[in-house]
Structure 1
């Protein structure tokens, strides 16, 4: 029996009975009632307020927008996975672009210097977004390790517009975090930032200096003709 199982066994066999969670009213943390358009507008306003950049693209040809973004940013070395559909589509679209696609499914000790010294940007998928706080949420995997969103100077995150939810509570409840939360979940609300003792805010000191969110829409982005 593991240490964890031993502790849980003791809790279950307490003399005064097993512990139970108290009844709680979570109404204050949910039930915002925002429409899809309101979620998108709030998300973009909040993440842009902390230097995040949002680009709206059609889902069927989003890689064209990615290629243009990489050209505009001067990205020559892009770190990305191999298995996730976002990475698969990106690799296919950029195959003849001249951009070196850096494999990330390696032991960090084997390419640590390369990651810190040569990689210009990291591309990741996202599991969704939170409108109330202007945040992205990611579950890193061996195919998309957390370092590609935390180390390169530019983090490019792909978000499906219909994966936005109102609040953090809605995300936790809808996706069953209590039963199957990973050991490492990331909430990202802008590029890296810190403040000195005088509370002067600086960006990109301990991580990405730029965050670009590519919002993919099933049809033409809001405000554009299909």
Structure 2
């Protein structure tokens, strides 16, 4: 009998009954009670502190704001999906521009080098954000693969203002993660960054150097 089997047998043959489930108080992880305006301000302050850029726009005019960001950043080749409304609206709005739209819904091996070498930016939707930490949360799909937000030097994310929750715990509860846990959720808190042994923070070492969030009201 292996050590594992021995341990499991001892657990099964306990004589003092089943182990009770401890009472758990999650109040410390939730219950901030912030208004939508406070959540937005906290999110913006947090993500701006780590070099994230927030651009406010409306749901009607967000594609105009996107064009302005792309022109300002000198983007020539933009990676974008097809199926999500964000991707669909962006494709329509950018048809008459000189920006080349690069399909993201392809086999990863078919355009791996292209992603790393020639893509200027990636555009993604978001599922929401977290005010307490200044984080976006994304749920990648084949239409918007995770590399679209992790590889290009510029990541442009579209966020609806009403989808900002107080805490990560609130996200889990609001979106029912206990019943449908995402297999590949991404939490993004600013551009990529790392620090050496002397704790000198550097941005853009192993991912996007810039993060722009278009917040739609």
After TM superposition, the score normalised by the length of structure 1 is: 0.88
Deviation at 1:15, TM superposition (A): 5.9
Aligned residue in 1 for 2:81: 81
Matches within 5 A, 1:131-146: 131-146=131-146
Aligned residue in 2 for 1:7: none
User: Hey, what's the Cα distance between the residues in 2 that align with 1:167 and 1:183?
Assistant: 20
Q: How many residues align?
A: 206
Answering whether residue 197 of structure 2 is matched by residue 172 of structure 1, we say: no
Q: Deviations over 1:143-193 (max 9, x none)?
A: 000000000000000000000010000000111111111211100000000
Aligned residue in 1 for 2:52: 52
3-state secondary structure, aligned to 2:179: helix
User: Hey, what's the Cα distance between the residues in 2 that align with 1:18 and 1:65?
Assistant: 59
Structure 1 unaligned segments of length 5 or more: list them: 1-9, 218-226
Aligned residue in 2 for 1:115: 115
Deviation at 1:23, TM superposition (A): 2.2
User: Hey, what's the Cα distance between the residues in 2 that align with 1:115 and 1:131?
Assistant: 31
Aligned residue in 2 for 1:209: 209
User: Hey, what's the Cα distance between the residues in 2 that align with 1:58 and 1:138?
Assistant: 21
Answering whether residue 61 of structure 2 is matched by residue 61 of structure 1, we say: yes
The 1:105/1:28 distance shift into structure 2, 3 A limit, reads: same
Deviation at 1:61, TM superposition (A): 1.2
Aligned residue in 1 for 2:198: 198
Deviation at 1:104, TM superposition (A): 1.0
User: Hey, what's the Cα distance between the residues in 2 that align with 1:175 and 1:22?
Assistant: 25
3-state secondary structure, aligned to 1:187: strand
3-state secondary structure, aligned to 2:111: helix
Over alpha carbons, which structure has the higher Rg? 2
The 1:30/1:98 distance shift into structure 2, 3 A limit, reads: same
User: Hey, what's the Cα distance between the residues in 2 that align with 1:188 and 1:141?
Assistant: 16
User: Hey, what's the Cα distance between the residues in 1 that align with 2:96 and 2:169?
Assistant: 43
Deviation at 1:21, TM superposition (A): 4.6
Deviation at 1:213, TM superposition (A): 0.5
